[in-house]
Structure 1
């Protein structure tokens, strides 16, 4: 499955650029690839936190969904 890719340009300070260069050397890719990987990891972590908060606020979410499904099937 192909993912849509969007190109952006960002400015970083010298310390961040050094860190990205080190990440790129470790990963064996470019600074852009290292930055993209780091941003992706941050986005995934944020999504996990968001989903965790959603389900923590709704502790019976799955049980309620299953009950609704069963009620719809018997109607």
Structure 2
């Protein structure tokens, strides 16, 4: 039986560079999968606190100020 061909890398690098080797697109909010569960729990509570503060600030800005003269 004849030996089978192992591999041929000829021209593969040139083909890859023809359109440019690009970095993978990064997402805006990367997944927290695989991170420490303790960190994820705390992160969730921290985000909730930030949201409450943000809503409070927005409500303060939208109400007209009262003038005591």
Bigger RCO of structures 1 and 2 (CA < 8 A, at least 6 apart) = 1
Is the TM value for this pair above 0.5? no
TM-score by length of 2: 0.43
Structure number with larger C-alpha Rg:
2
* Structure showing the higher helix proportion among its residues: 1
